[in-house]
Chain A
Amino acid sequence: MTFEDILARCLDALEQGETIENCVDRYPQHATELISLLNLAIAVRSTPQPRLSANGFARGQAVVMAQARLQQAHHAPFKPAHVAAARQLPAPIARTQPLVAPQLMARPPKLAKPFLFIYKAQSALIALLVVLSFFTLLRNISSSLPGASLYSVKILGENMQGVLLTAAGEQAIWHAHQTEIRLQELVQLGQRDQIASAALEQSIEQQVLATLTASNQLRAEQRDQFLLAWMTRLRALDKDNQSPSTVAQTLNRTLATIQNATQVTIALPMPGSQPIQTVLPTPTPAAAQVGVPTVTSNPVTAEARLAEPTTPPATRATVPTAEPANIHPPSVSPDLAPAPTALATATMASIIVQVPQETSTDDDNQPEQPNKAAVAQPEATTAPVVAAADPQLPDSGDNGQSAVQPSTSVTTSLEMGSGATSTGHTSKSDAPKATVTPAFGIVDAPTPAIGSGPAIAPATALVTEVATSATPDQTASPNTSTPGADKPATSTAMPSSTESNTPIPVPSETPTSEPEKTVDPTATSKPTATVKPTRPDPTDTPDQSEATEEPPTSTPESTPTPKKRK
């Protein structure tokens, strides 16, 4: 037996009540060692044992009780461990202890159904209110106007949207949309008799430029379609014309800017088809009306048409225009709306050419005619019409018109789109002699700002411009117009006309001139030949000076001069 075992036995004996002497007597060989160790053990056992302080004990007890109650409330009745623990109980104990306490079996449900229903109803109601308030806020933000407290939030959201669209390569669409939004805001402000800030107009101009710049990245066809659709939407912003003049001017200026830019860029693809697509809906009467002026203005075109029966629909429309009698009756009707549309669809260019001639000869007779004067600019445009309609025409090429035609074709296409929209307005204002006027109305004169693109501008603006330009320039212009002055005259004439706004009797001239026009077509062609070389640059037309340009009008008087030249 080892000393460790002896020590253990002695310690157990001491616990049983024996004394140290009894243990030492049993193991005398280890007496000295045992005595010291047993005394030490007794001393340690006699030492007062440390205990939890009263506060510590009470605090711990409270914590344990609280946790036990919480555990009992949440887990006791449903814990599978209880069943397992009950199974593990020793047989006699397990019999005495119930598996589940009776009070747990009768425990009531945690929450009564009515309270649950109310709670759920409240939650649903709160959620609904939150959603409604959120959408209301979004709606207010989207409809906010400049100056409103939420307008900055609107701009911020648009910028974020713009970043995404720009990243997706939809810059043109994005800027066009922004332009429309800004213009809508402008219109709404105008309808509320509020003054639009300069920042808003600046943003509109910036968006327009950005749209045009971004549209250059599109293919020609896509760009044309995109711009036409865009312009159509822009024109639709102020259908009712309820907005004040300042707003209308801004709208017109914007449209004119777009038209100018499109004229330049669209020039290449224009040769034939593009404008025609938009033109399709044009009614025949309008085309006839237009035809008359075209013949007079551009003899070359007329010749080409005559020579080639296969000319596209646009040219056909111009040819019939030679018949003035047919044209007049429809135009006379008070509601000229259909006529203008027809013009727009058929061939805007042809219309444009004729107008100047008429305006030059007749003055002050018909207020509506001024619109035609605006068209006068087009002599440049007239040539294009021919080109687009009859690309195969030999005459055009001989006269050097070939170079000119492309540019003109571009203008026509633009005019087509614009004319369609503008005609609606002009038709109403047309005078009784409207036969001519409707056509002119179609050719909407450009807003003063742009100058170059007369056709796009709304009817009202067009009419005014025509009046001014027709009266003064016609006399002087005839001769000058033919060569190079035509293009500039057209573009510049537009703005000047807008300023004067006085209706010019030009339309009245048309009836008189019509017979002449029909007769002269060939003769007029001569001047066109001279004019064409000057026109080649479509870009020139928009910026040319206003006063001098009006002359391009192809009044009957001018036509004879070209003949002499030939």
Chain B
Amino acid sequence: MDDIQRGDPIEEATLVNLIQRAQVDFEPEAFEGLYMLYADRVFRFLLVRLGDVDRAEDVTAQVFLRLIEKIDKFRIAPKDNVAIFSAWLYRMAYNKMVDMLRRHRPAYHIAIEHAEHIADHQSIIEQVEEQLDFEQILNKLPLLNDQQRQVILLRFVEGLSIAETAQIMQKSEGAIKALQHRSLESLRRYLQK
């Protein structure tokens, strides 16, 4: 896979070829190619939520180990394999992140008067995610909710289309459009403050 470089745009044919080689022969080079294409993307996806570079790196590696174990479960579709595979890989990353957060849940010291508010409106993960600091991209991103951040990330950081984002987020394109609008509005509002 000498022709695949880190962070290259993902093409359907290239991706299908890598998946086939990984499924049939477990070629290390095929997995290396997948890693080249998706490592930084998965890392950003996790970094937006975790806000910790080290943890995001660790979970990224775990995601690809999981991919090696489960690669034979992926069914290659006649088309849109990039969106399907990306959505499958991001879902895998999300699950790994949740597992990690469950195992290493930080101890929060919250005042009693704030406890009810937090419990009513936000989960612990969401709270953690909101406290994240996305230094390189947007300082205000943590102020958005999870779906808004995810839409911002997928649409404007990763450059995915509405259809791809909808598939990854398992929503309709109309829902993604509305979510995209609200996300930009919220982000603009926070930036103006």
Contact = CB atoms under 8 A, between A and B. Distances in A.
Interface in A11-46: 11-12, 15, 36-37, 40-41, 44-45
Given A50-B47, A72-B26, A79 B61 contact: no
B129 to A, nearest CB: 16
A108 interface: no
A44 B53 contact: no
Given A44-B157, A64-B35, A49 B28 contact: no
A84 B73 CA distance: 10
Interface stretch (B38-46, B83-91, B98-106): B38-46
Interface of A: 3-5, 7-8, 11-12, 15, 36-37, 40-41, 44-45, 47-53, 56-57, 59-61, 63-65, 67-69, 71-72, 75-76, 79, 81-82, 84-86, 88-90, 93, 97-101, 104
Nearest to B48: A50
A68 B53 CA distance: 25
B16 A79 contact: no
Given A12-B162, A51-B44, A72-B26, 13 more contacts: A8-B162, A37-B184, A37-B188, A44-B138, A45-B157, A47-B138, A50-B43, A50-B53, A68-B22, A71-B26, A84-B72, A90-B76, A97-B20
A47 B156 CA distance: 10
Contact of B44 (A49, A84, A85): A49
Contacts of B31: 64-65, 67-68
Given A44-B138, A51-B43, A85 B20 contact: yes
Contact of B156 (A8, A45, A48, A72): A45
Nearest to B60: A60
Contact of B61 (A60, A84, A99): A60
A65 B40 contact: no
User: Which 3 A/B pairs are nearest by Cβ-Cβ distance?
Assistant: A81-B72, A72-B26, A68-B28
Nearest to A3: B181
Contacts of A97: 20-21, 24
A98 B23 CA distance: 12
Contacts of B39: 52, 57, 60-61
A71 B25 contact: no
B188 to A, nearest CB: 5
Contacts of A40: 184, 187-188, 191
Contacts of B138: 44, 47
Contacts of A81: 23, 72-73
Contacts of B16: 90, 93
A382 B136 CA distance: 119
A56 B25 contact: no
Contacts of A67: 31, 65, 68
Contact of A4 (B24, B25, B32, B178): B178
B105 to A, nearest CB: 23
Given A50-B44, A64-B32, A68-B28, A82 B72 contact: yes
Contact of A50 (B76, B136, B159): B136
A52 B6 CA distance: 10
Contacts of B24: 82, 85-86, 97-101
B80 interface: no
Contacts of B161: 12
Interface SS of A by simple majority:
helix
**Interface residues on chain B, size class:** 35 or more
Contacts of A7: 177, 180-181, 184
Nearest to B25: A101
A57 B6 contact: yes
B152 A90 contact: no
B57 A60 contact: yes
A277 B39 CA distance: 97
18 contacts: A4-B181, A11-B180, A12-B161, A12-B162, A40-B188, A40-B191, A47-B137, A49-B40, A50-B53, A52-B39, A52-B57, A60-B39, A68-B27, A71-B69, A81-B73, A85-B20, A93-B17, A97-B24
Contacts of B30: 68
A64 B20 contact: no
Nearest to B17: A93
Contact of B136 (A49, A98, A104): A49
Contacts of A69: 28
Interface in B109-167: 134, 136-138, 152, 155-157, 159, 161-162
Given A72-B28, A88-B76, A101-B25, A52 B68 contact: no
A13 B21 CA distance: 37
A88 B180 CA distance: 36
Nearest to B16: A93
A76 B22 CA distance: 9
Contacts of B35: 60-61, 64
A36 B188 contact: yes
Interface string B165-182: 000000000100110110
Contact of A85 (B72, B134, B177): B72
Given A56-B57, A64-B64, A68-B31, A89 B43 contact: no
Contact of B32 (A52, A53, A68): A68
A534 B164 CA distance: 120
B166 to A, nearest CB: 11
Contact of B23 (A12, A59, A82): A82
B156 A44 contact: yes
Contacts of A52: 39-40, 43, 57, 60
A69 B181 CA distance: 45
Interface in B6-24: 6-7, 16-17, 20-24
A521 B21 CA distance: 119
B72 A49 contact: no
